[in-house]
């Protein structure tokens, strides 16, 4: 999923680096939202409910920040300040 969405920040893509920090890669909130919306579609939702699975809510997407896009550059995150990228607040 991270490859499909061009999510290349270290916290999302670098398993070894995140293991060294005592953590694991984190799925970007945009990917989480896409998965949750996919689970909420009638084709999936009905099958889940038949098996006793019910999607109740999506939590944990606080502090989502958007950036002005100046052009698409695979592997490069948007910057809101010189030298500061989207994932800096998580480091």
Quick one: pLDDT band at residue 15, thresholds 50, 70, 90?
Answer: confident
- Mean pLDDT, residues 50-68 taken together: 65
Domain count, the chain: 1
Domain that holds residue 72: 10-76
Output the average pLDDT for the chain: 68
* Per-residue model confidence as pLDDT tens digits over 20-47: 877 777 777 777 777 777 777 888 878 8
pTM, two decimals, is 0.40
Q: Nearest CA to 25 among 7, 37, 6? A: 7
Q: Please report the sign of the dihedral spanned by the C-alpha atoms of residue 27, residue 28, residue 31, residue 32.
A: positive
Say yes or no to pLDDT of 82 above 70.
Answer: no
């Amino acid at each position: 999923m991270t490859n499909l969405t061009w999510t290349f920040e270290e916290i999302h893509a670098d398993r070894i680096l995140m293991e060294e920090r005592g953590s694991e890669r984190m799925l970007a909130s945009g990917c989480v939202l896409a998965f949750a919306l996919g689970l909420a579609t009638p084709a999936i939702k009905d099958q889940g409910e038949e098996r006793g699975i019910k999607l109740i809510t999506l939590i944990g997407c606080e502090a989502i920040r958007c950036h002005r896009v100046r052009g698409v550059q695979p592997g490069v995150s948007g910057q809101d300040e010189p030298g500061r990228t989207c994932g800096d607040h998580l480091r």
